[in-house]
Structure 1
Amino acid sequence: MSKTESLTNVQIFFLMVQTQVGFGILTLPNVLQATSKGDGWMSVLLAGLVIQLFLVIIWLLLRRFPQLTYSEISTFLLGKMTGTFINIIIFVYFILAAAFVLLQFSTIIKEHLLLDTPYWVLGLVMMLTCTYLAISDIRIIARFFVLISLLIVAKFGFSFFSFSLPMDLHHILPLGSSGMKNIILGGKDCLLSVLGFEIILFLYPLASKKGTTFLKVVTWANVFVTGLTSYFVMLCILIFSESALDKIKYPVIYFLRPLHFQMIDRLDMLFVSIWIVPLAVSIVIFIHLGGKSLTFYKGKPQHLVIMNSALVFVLFTIAKKDPASQKLYSLTLEYLSYGVVFTIPGLLLLLSFLFKKHGKEVSS
């Protein structure tokens, strides 16, 4: 593969970062109040360590099959029938993940920006925009992800305004007061909030630098996302009391609401407007990789992406006004993630060793 046809280290880094930094951070401080409370930032660090462990497992699997994607490895190791069944599960995971992000996007925009706009209009506009990019080649998508990486700097910049608000260090003291059990339970909630690192299962064959170099790139991406997430969680814990965090659904947005300046007002709306982009790119990569999961499809990839987008929109319209359906989506996505992201790669790695199957290993 020529260098122009491969993904650079920078592109892989921001593909992983932008996919992970989506909706989850906005609600995570609120979610952690049910378990680790003031030790929520410790739960985030624990989740980062667990993710790093699975990144190593995934890397070991991909290193044994450097020219194959996740779905191709499953077919190769499990046979056509079983592998196809697993790939359909992977496909369902990506489609459901895209639909869930679309649901959260429409809810945030409806509650903070476009109060009178119907849900279906918000969903349709977002899906049309995402489909336009998702039908492109993964390299074009990667270039766009690198381009919008400047928005991460803007997010940090907005958060610095919150330093003018009163903060109470006692909200995080004493360290570990919630107990190790609750910190671990909080880490489980964090794992679901920073999903997205699984996209590397489809990126390794396209990487210009494989082997240990690839592992270093995804490790630094994980360190960055873990640091960014723990930063926002700790910021919210310091600003809000436990009772307030328990009631505020989007604390990362809410702490900007009371800030007013002579030339800038409603920083929370500006912050939400910027955060729309990470939500959009998460949908883009999910519907794009959803098409890559169906190895038996022999038609044009663009047609499959369009079909994926239509399926996501249908799932969105079914659940947009029904809290029970949204809860069902959330639970289904949670259980699917345990299998698709954590269990299946580990089993495939184990089978590859047991059956002594591998491709040509590539060193960095």
Structure 2
Amino acid sequence: MSQTGSLTSWQIFFLMIQTQVGFGILRLPNILQNTSKGDGWLSVLVAGVFLQLFLLIIWLLLRRFPDLIYSEITTFLLGKHIGTLVNIITYVYFMVTASFVLLQFTSIIKEHLLVTTPYWVIGMLMMLTCTYLAIGDIRIIARFFGIISILFLILMGLSFFSFLLPVDLHHILPLGKSGVKDVIRGSKDCLLAILGFEVILFLYPLASKKGTKFLRTITWANVFVTGLTTYFVILCIMVFSEPSLRHIKYPVIYFLRPLHFQMVDRLDLLFVSIWIVPLAASIVIYLYLGSKSLSFFKGKSSKLVLMNSTLVFILFTIVKKDPESQQLYSSYVEYLSYTVVFAIPCMLLLFSYLLKKRGKEVSQ
């Protein structure tokens, strides 16, 4: 990877939020109607707290091996063979998740913008763009993510127009009406919607500021993503009634559709066009991380990125585009994410304490 200390705290912050903010937020208010309903925004806050605990666990693991990337930590703790197997599972997770994001991306674009364009054309154009950026150095990717983060301000500005519509605060009142059990159940769906924080597993050795300063950076990134997600969930709950949210697949897009102005029409299409960039950013970072998760690969990383892009596109073309197939594919991604993102880092941290191993034992 790049030289140690080449990423600033701001760049790590932007890398994390751009990876987390993807298609999951667009559909989250609809999904939460099956569990916490009007208390969906409380589920988001609970998920943010849970996520912070996992970030702490990951930080404790990375702090013990400050000069090793994640794929090197696994082989150091688990041995060459088991560690390589874990790295392959992690690689599969990145590829499957990238193809799932691409699948959701093409579905959104075809439904709202390019109705008559074939799925494979939209997917191929997206992959060509993402591959070009993923081949670059992580510092270039981080700078690009920092520049496009200004789009969040534009998205927030567009969302303010929704207050011109009738909004009902009673849709989120009384607080806690769904019960603690349903709020916690809803937090599970929220965790899956804001996945992407696993990017920090490969960033710690490159951080210019490690230790508690690194923890502070990823904490503020978590606060930002949790706050942004909570805002959009509350907004959709107030704009739409509960029965409406159950039938609207992407409420975060549709809440702007009723607005019409003399010079600007269909703000929802403008909103979708801007949201394309965070979706692309998620694919870019997954392609890049996939190339770094296979530590045994000795060739140029650019070749591995090209291989990753081809594999992602093949998976994308294989999966059927009907809702049932997409739901089944989503379940596979969900179970794989529990293993790779949550279970394996916890297991590695436990082994590092039991085996009393630290990064300083590795000869550099």
TM-score, with normalisation over the residues of structure 1?
0.97
| Structure 2 partner of 1:62 | 62
Distance 1:86 1:277 in 2: 31
SS in structure 1 of the partner of residue 163 of structure 2: helix
Distance 1:103 1:2 in 2: 31
Check if 1:48 corresponds to 2:18.
no
Check conservation: 1:3, 1:208, Cα contact below 8 A.
no
Within 5 Å, give how 1:159-174 maps onto structure 2: 159-174=159-174
| Structure 2 partner of 1:269 | 269
Within 5 Å, give how 1:65-104 maps onto structure 2: 65-104=65-104
| Structure 1 partner of 2:212 | 212
Check conservation: 2:2, 2:206, Cα contact below 8 A.
no
The letter of the residue matching 1:91 is Y
| Structure 2 partner of 1:148 | 148
Distance 1:68 1:208 in 2: 14
Check conservation: 1:77, 1:352, Cα contact below 8 A.
yes
Shift of 1:319: 1.2
Shift of 1:181: 0.8
Deviations 1:287-308 (A, max 9, x none): 1101111111111100000000
RMSD of the TM alignment (CA)? 1.4
Shift of 1:4: 9.0
Deviations 1:76-133 (A, max 9, x none): 0000010011001100000011000000000000000000000000000000000000
Distance 1:182 1:222 in 2: 23
Extract unaligned runs of 5+ from structure 1: none
Check conservation: 1:119, 1:320, Cα contact below 8 A.
no
Check conservation: 2:12, 2:203, Cα contact below 8 A.
yes
Distance 1:300 1:219 in 2: 33
Distance 1:214 1:251 in 2: 35
Instruction: Tell me how many residue pairs correspond in the alignment.
Output: 361
Distance 2:101 2:204 in 1: 25
Shift of 1:2: 9.9
Shift of 1:322: 4.1
Shift of 1:71: 1.3
Identity %: 73
| Structure 2 partner of 1:194 | 194
Check conservation: 1:98, 1:282, Cα contact below 8 A.
yes
Distance 1:323 1:161 in 2: 31
Shift of 1:5: 5.9
Deviations 1:291-340 (A, max 9, x none): 11111111110000000000000000111434443223211110111111
Check conservation: 1:74, 1:83, Cα contact below 8 A.
yes
Check conservation: 1:103, 1:320, Cα contact below 8 A.
no
Distance 1:212 1:350 in 2: 20
Deviations 1:141-172 (A, max 9, x none): 00000010110100100000001111111111
Within 5 Å, give how 1:171-182 maps onto structure 2: 171-182=171-182
Distance 2:358 2:113 in 1: 51
Q: Which 4+ stretches in 1 moved above 4 angstroms?
A: 1-5
Deviations 1:197-222 (A, max 9, x none): 01000000000000000000000000
The letter of the residue matching 1:83 is G
Check conservation: 2:110, 2:117, Cα contact below 8 A.
yes
Check if 1:13 corresponds to 2:13.
yes
| Structure 2 partner of 1:255 | 255
Within 5 Å, give how 1:178-327 maps onto structure 2: 178-327=178-327
| Structure 1 partner of 2:339 | 339
Distance 2:44 2:11 in 1: 25
TM-score, with normalisation over the residues of structure 2?
0.97
